[in-house]
């Protein structure tokens, strides 16, 4: 059975987004004394990540050209050994500032959309699915009797 958000929606007692990409979800079915907590991660879309990688590469290329030109100009103004040292220092400082940007973090963040939240809820459910069973005749979920499962 393919698990969809709609199929598990009756089990959801609460869901909340925490930490930017963690969906904390409580699931409870008929016959369960208490809800079961689970966490699902919102994942960045692969296509969106690739677009962001390309954008960042273009930005880095432009910044690289600007840095190279500016540091060369600075070195030329000062001239000689001091100019080369100033050019190198300016270039190193500028490259470290641009490379330490949050490029990687920004690319990995998933957009907060209803679809991404639902995917995270489904992922959370999959981690606790063993505590539930689907009754295909009624089309409903119920809690498993864990004492029977433990005996085996």
Tokens of 125: 């459910």
Whole-structure pTM over 0.75, yes or no?
no
- For 73-104, the pLDDT digits (tens) are 555 666 665 556 555 655 565 555 555 444 45
Instruction: Return d(Cα 67, Cα 65) in angstroms, integer.
Output: 5
Contact 75, 68 (CB under 8 A): no
* Residue 144 confidence (pLDDT) above 70: yes
Q: Which residue has the tokens 């999959």?
A: 126
Task: List, for residues 116-143, the tens digit of each pLDDT value.
Answer: 999 999 999 999 999 999 988 988 999 9
- The sign of the torsion formed by the CA atoms of 107, 109, 115, 119 equals positive
């Amino acid at each position: 059975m393919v698990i969809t958000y709609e199929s598990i929606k009756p089990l959801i007692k609460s869901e909340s987004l925490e930490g930017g990409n963690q969906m904390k979800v409580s699931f409870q079915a008929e016959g369960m004394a208490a809800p079961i907590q689970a966490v699902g991660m919102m994942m960045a879309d692969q296509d969106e990540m690739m677009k962001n990688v390309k954008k960042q590469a273009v930005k880095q290329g432009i910044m690289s050209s600007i840095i190279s030109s500016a540091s060369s100009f600075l070195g030329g103004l000062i001239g000689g050994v001091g100019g080369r040292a100033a050019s190198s220092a300016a270039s190193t400082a500028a490259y470290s500032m641009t490379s330490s940007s949050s490029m990687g973090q920004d690319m990995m963040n998933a957009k907060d959309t209803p679809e991404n939240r639902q995917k995270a809820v489904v992922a959370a459910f999959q981690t606790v699915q063993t505590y539930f069973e689907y009754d295909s005749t009624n089309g409903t979920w119920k809690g498993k009797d864990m004492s029977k499962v433990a005996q085996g």
